[in-house]
Chain A
């Protein structure tokens, strides 16, 4: 039950700037709810970025990242129309992915 993602990939001079937004509660496991019970850990663990099917970034992130995270990074090279795919995997085994072409 993953919420929406949104991505932009813009070509610069010899590089591509990518910005991706994702919906995720990113629970640390330390917060208590209104009844005083601990809210279980729930956070994105792995982030994978592929360009035209080839993995270029594999990142591990933790509970330290805020809710609804935004990631932005610069890739070397790239051409208009190249397909960029970003996917995440959280500690519950849920995943979500988004694909966009470089503009």
Chain B
């Protein structure tokens, strides 16, 4: 009997400790989120958006991100979505590459030669993503889900989330499929459930404190597949966009409050 009480007490203390840890992590996040260096990247992204580049020496200011040519307000909150001119579903980064090709006359190879940057030299897409996402702050996340290709993309993303692949036979759900799990300090959100997807998606892209970089959702997909030991996914491929589409759609309704901060 005594032993049982002791065990129960221990279990209680354990739960309280876990709760305390979660609270401390939350407090750390809030401290870091105040005055996020992501804002510095937004400023540089705006300069880049307005900078004439490519063989045609034009800026991206006439780029149509879905809300009309050059409209930035709310554009990110409504991506990914179907684009008639490209006849496919695109996320922000894929669409930006499309504009670099069609407006600025750059080749796809040239536009995607360096999609993920470093702390010393952020990539164009990272800076642009920070700036454009910031223009949707406070707006509800509502990616396109009405066009048949949007529905197909969502369904593909959902299937991919649970699809086990690669030498280690991993799926997204292998790590993000069970509640209450974490790796070191990082909890692993169950991203196919809205209550977990909402706060996460609403803060991407984000400034990563440990690497001093702005990281994007395309980077996240790429790096998750790297950790799963699959061949590297193609930047802006149907697969990566479908996964981003599925995750974003799962988070729909949440007010966008990024670019955020990551550990």
B4 in the interface (beta carbon within 8 A)? no
Contact indicator A70/B44 (Cβ below 8 Å)? no
Contact indicator A72/B44 (Cβ below 8 Å)? no
Contact indicator B119/A67 (Cβ below 8 Å)? yes
The interface stretch among B12-20, B34-42, B74-82 is B34-42
The contact size tier of chain A is: 10 to 19
Q: A6-B39, A67-B119 are in contact. List 18 more A-B contacts (CB 8 A).
A: A3-B40, A4-B40, A4-B43, A5-B40, A8-B35, A20-B35, A21-B37, A21-B40, A22-B40, A23-B37, A25-B120, A66-B212, A68-B40, A68-B212, A70-B36, A70-B37, A72-B34, A72-B35
Number of inter-chain CB pairs below 8 Å: 36
Q: Which of chain B's residues have a CB closer than 8 A to the CB of A70?
A: 34-37
B residues contacting A by CB (< 8 A) are 34-37, 39-40, 43-44, 119-120, 209, 212
Q: Which of chain B's residues have a CB closer than 8 A to the CB of A21?
A: 35-37, 39-40
Contact indicator B37/A68 (Cβ below 8 Å)? yes
Contact indicator B35/A19 (Cβ below 8 Å)? yes
Contact indicator A19/B34 (Cβ below 8 Å)? yes
> CA separation between A22 and B119, bound complex, in Å?
14
Q: Considering the complex, which residues of chain A in the window 80-95 have a beta carbon less than 8 Å from any beta carbon of chain B?
A: none
Q: Which of chain A's residues have a CB closer than 8 A to the CB of B209?
A: 66
Distance between A44 CB and nearest chain B CB, rounded to angstroms: 14
